[in-house]
Amino acid sequence: MNMNLGCLLLSLIGLVNLALGSPGDWLDEFIDCRESCEIIRSCSDPSTDAPDHHNGFDLSYFDETPVFLRKCLLWDCESDCDYQCQQIVTILRIENGEEIYQFHGKWPFKRMFGIQELYSTLFSIANFVPHYRGFKILRSELKKLSHYDKSGILLDKYVYVSIAGMLAWTASSIFHLRDFIVTEKLDYFFAGATVLSGFHAIFIRIFRLDKHDNLRHLFCGTVILIFLMHILRLYLDWSYTYNMRFNVAFGVLQYLLLLTLSYRNYVHLKSQPKSRSSPYASQAQMTWQLCTVPLLLVVGTSLAMSCELFDFFSYTWQIDSHAIWHACTILPSWKLYDFFIRDYRYLKHRCNSLAE
């Protein structure tokens, strides 16, 4: 299940901002402040003269960029002036009781410990953990199988989901730590990879392509081709709208597949005599794990994603709706892998019962 759709939804919300610029970008005081900062700090050419007009920031004091930020996180003089002026203007607006504005499509976060968006970064790192755990438990489940057990194909596909998840959340952590064009694009590319890997794995599970080698290879090849074409399309002509549509389309397909799986498990469980459903858990437990959990995953992540639509930001707490969305996806990712494993074991139990 794609937990990174939130980033993409944010990009859709930010689309208008990118086309028109954020309201903060066009504030006179912000433009004046940046101009003064760049002159006072001699950002470009040390011999540049002061402008012939005066603005309220001529005598302001601007900090020098700390060495660590300059060398390790590549904050140059201009980007640091931009940052300092966002802070100065925002504090002035708060003091005057005015609305807080976004700059360049983002809220004016304070750098903390050198991190551009502290909470989004921390929650992105936290989101890495369930995918890493998923990777470990899937690998140990695979190790229990004999080499000839073809049911391992399904587990292999889930392993790819966990790898894509780990890559995506690493990219997201880096992007929220320091926002560059390249870190932003990596975040989007890997988000695309997670959506496709989830779609691919659940599709194979539902249509039991693990039992049909040729069809599966054809399907895998098609998905890889779709991803390569997607990357090529973005490389040739970067488009936020297209990227958003692509990810939402496959994200929604993935949710529909998961709901289908939940329903099919429900129908199957109901059709079974109670004693045959599983030797390990009661029917109620099985219904919860195999039907209700995937349903809650879809409903929960969709609801959490909708919190992005409110685009909330607190300067005091330095948190926004995007960070809260990232916090909301940790538990569902954790539960997703538990579901994959339980569904896999149930499927295997069903196949073994039929074989007996």
- Using left for φ > 0, alpha for ψ between -120 and 50, and beta otherwise, residue 10 falls in alpha
Minimum distance from residue 174 beta carbon to Zn ion (Å): 11
CB within 8 A of 1, min separation 6: which ones? 198, 254, 255, 258, 297, 298, 301, 332, 333, 336
Closest to Zn ion by CB, 7 vs 161, is: 7
Phi, psi of 222 (to 5 degrees): -65, -45
- Using Cβ positions, the residue closest to Zn ion within the complex turns out to be 7
Q: By C-alpha distance, which of 353, 307, 351 is closest to 329?
A: 307
Q: For residue 112, list its beta bridge partners.
A: 115
Closest to Zn ion by CB, 82 vs 117, is: 117
Minimum distance from residue 191 beta carbon to Zn ion (Å): 9
Binding mask 3-22 for Zn ion (x = CB under 5 A): ----x---------------
Q: CA of 263: how far to CAs of 12, 121, 267, 268, in Å?
A: 32, 36, 6, 9
Closest to Zn ion by CB, 172 vs 277, is: 172
Closest to Zn ion by CB, 107 vs 344, is: 107
Contact 139, 162 (CB under 8 A): no
Q: Is 173 helix (H, G, I), strand (E, B) or coil?
A: helix
Rounded Cα distance between 309 and 332, Å, is 20
Minimum distance from residue 4 beta carbon to Zn ion (Å): 7
Closest to Zn ion by CB, 190 vs 344, is: 190
Minimum distance from residue 225 beta carbon to Zn ion (Å): 28
How many angstroms from the chain centroid is the CA of residue 304? 13
Closest to Zn ion by CB, 14 vs 152, is: 14
Contact 2, 189 (CB under 8 A): no
Minimum distance from residue 40 beta carbon to Zn ion (Å): 34
Give the interface size with Zn ion as a residue count (CB under 5 A).
2
Contact 83, 71 (CB under 8 A): no
Ranges within 184-243 binding Zn ion (CB under 5 A): none
DSSP 309: G
Minimum distance from residue 49 beta carbon to Zn ion (Å): 42
Minimum distance from residue 156 beta carbon to Zn ion (Å): 28
Rounded Cα distance between 272 and 100, Å, is 59
Binding mask 149-178 for Zn ion (x = CB under 5 A): -----------------------x------
Minimum distance from residue 197 beta carbon to Zn ion (Å): 18
Minimum distance from residue 352 beta carbon to Zn ion (Å): 42
Residue labelled with tokens 């199988």:
145
Rounded Cα distance between 77 and 81, Å, is 6
Closest to Zn ion by CB, 178 vs 205, is: 178
Q: Per CB under 5 A, does 43 bind Zn ion?
A: no
Closest to Zn ion by CB, 7 vs 167, is: 7
Closest to Zn ion by CB, 35 vs 320, is: 320
CA atoms within 13 A on the CB side of 302: 14
Binding site for Zn ion (CB under 5 A): 7, 172
